[in-house]
Amino acid sequence: MKMLPPHRHRSSLEEPLRLSDLPGIIDWSGKIAYLDRDGVLNKWREGYVNSPEELEMLDGAGFAVGLLRRNGFRICIVTNQSPVGRGLWGHDVLSQIHDSLQEQLLNEDKDAEIDLILYSPYPPDQGAWARKPRPGMLEAGRQLIENSEFNSDQPTSISYGKNWINRPSEKGSILVGDRESDILAAETFGVKGIRCNPETGIAGVIDMIISPELEGQN
């Protein structure tokens, strides 16, 4: 197993992360929603999503992400994207796809801002720590967001596996994914995993995360 690190959308991994304020007057309590991408936010596609034009959002995904942020969650996308490592297309194409993802979420809900996008470009046979079901993306996501909240001007020195000590609590955080590899990554990392139906995605499980009566109380 190799400690190959995740990659970060339009940024080097460890550079300071600039976070926008949560909606309203919410103070962040440490909750992160780690979200898989395909089958959670957008429709899963046979043969990969290969361009922004092929990215088709699932109904209600933008509202669900906005609802999470209105209830105090930071949003961290954690997605396996082996086409990059396989040479099917490059990091630049994936950046364009993720730009479109953010734009379409915000078109549905103005609060549906993604705080951080991490991806693993490695094929399965490389045994990368960053590729789910291993927890490398989740480990990096927590450290980047924590560092931004409390020490925003400094780069984050990211530790993985047994090298990461004094880990913060993941109480209140969740991971949503549509595959067993997502749930295994959640279990290894120590966060509650919720498996969704890829036909309905996050909108189909949002009530398991946030009770409808809580909306508007924060």
Model pLDDT, residue 213: 40
153 in active site: no
The pLDDT score that the predictor gives to residue 3 is: 81
Specify whether 125 is catalytic. no
Cis amide linkage into residue 133, ω under 30° from 0:
yes
**Per residue, what are the HEC states of the chain?**
CECCCCEECCECCCCCCCCCCCCCCCCCCCCEEEECCECCCECCCCCCCCCHHHCCECCCHHHHHHHHHHCCCEEEEEEECHHHHHCCCCHHHHHHHHHHHHHHHHHHCCCCCCCEEEEECCCHHHCECCCCCCCHHHHHHHHHHHHHHHCCCCCCCCCCHHHCCCCCCCCCCEEEECCHHHHHHHHHHCCEEEECCCCCHHHHCHHHHCCHHHCCCC
Closest CA relative to residue 6, chosen from 80, 98, 76, 75? 80
Q: Under a CB-based contact definition with an 8 Å cutoff, are residues 35 and 121 in contact?
A: no
Beta pairing partners, 76: 34, 116
Name the catalytic one among 27, 38, 59, 111: 38
Q: The tokens of 52 are what?
A: 């922004």
At 213 the three-state DSSP class reads: helix
The residue ranges of the chain whose pLDDT is under 50 are 213-218
pLDDT for 216? 43
Q: Which fold has domain 7-211?
A: Rossmann fold (3.40.50)
* C-beta separation of 3 from 161 below 8 A: yes
Q: 59-102, pLDDT tens digit by residue? A: 999 999 999 999 999 999 999 999 999 999 999 999 999 999 99
Q: Which of 21, 27, 36, 153 is catalytic?
A: 36
Question: Exposed, middle or buried: residue 96 (CB in 10 Å: 0-12, 13-18, 19+)?
Answer: middle
pLDDT at 212: 53
